[in-house]
């Protein structure tokens, strides 16, 4: 078994679904083509219970868990799959939330662990900032909401 530390630039992301619409399938959507991924997070809000006669503090119990928004960035390519997916969902096509995500973290050439995201939904698409005088690569962003996050150790 591999132990850390893990370098943050050794990752691969894949978004897959059971029945991708025409033009987006059959393989994973944008597998491994992202330069940055931020927002892998889960926050549990504890429930506070006040008990009669207990004057020194409250009882803390687990409450609902909320998940962050995953933001993916990549250089603009001729593939328009991210915008096509966002457009299909935004226009309420039946396709909806059929994608799941997997973020593989590598140690050497082996996958050390994977973050699994369930029911991924695109909530924001941002095209590149355009400037005739800029010298950097055009970057597009896709922000994703997800319903469940889990960690799978290889």
What distance in Å separates the CA atoms of residue 139 and residue 124, rounded to the nearest whole number? Answer: 14
Whether the predicted pLDDT of 42 surpasses 90 = yes
Report the chain's terminal Cα–Cα distance, integer Å.
Answer: 8
3-state helix, strand, coil in the chain (%, to 5): 5, 45, 50
- Please, are residues 100 and 116 in contact by the beta-carbon 8 Å criterion? yes
pTM: 0.80
pLDDT in tens, 68-120: 999 999 888 777 788 888 888 888 766 656 788 999 988 888 888 999 999 89
Whether the predicted pLDDT of 5 surpasses 80 = no
Q: Which domains can be identified in the chain, with CATH numbers?
A: 11-43+65-153 (2.30.110.20)
What distance in Å separates the CA atoms of residue 67 and residue 45, rounded to the nearest whole number? Answer: 11
Residue ranges in the chain assigned as alpha helix (H): 81-90
């Amino acid at each position: 078994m591999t132990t850390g530390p893990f370098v943050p630039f050794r990752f691969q992301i894949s978004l897959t679904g059971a029945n991708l619409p025409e033009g987006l399938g059959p393989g994973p959507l944008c597998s491994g083509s992202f330069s940055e991924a931020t927002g892998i997070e889960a926050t549990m809000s504890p429930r506070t219970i006040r008990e009669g006669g207990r004057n020194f503090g409250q009882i803390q119990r687990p409450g609902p868990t909320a998940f962050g928004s995953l933001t993916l960035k990549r250089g603009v390519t001729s593939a328009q799959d991210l915008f096509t997916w966002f457009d299909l969902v935004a226009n309420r096509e039946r396709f909806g939330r059929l994608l799941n995500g997997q973020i593989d973290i590598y140690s050497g050439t082996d996958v050390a662990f994977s973050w699994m995201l369930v029911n991924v939904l695109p909530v924001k698409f941002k095209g590149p900032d355009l400037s005739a005088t800029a010298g950097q690569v055009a970057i597009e962003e896709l922000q994703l909401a997800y319903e469940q996050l889990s960690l799978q150790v290889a």
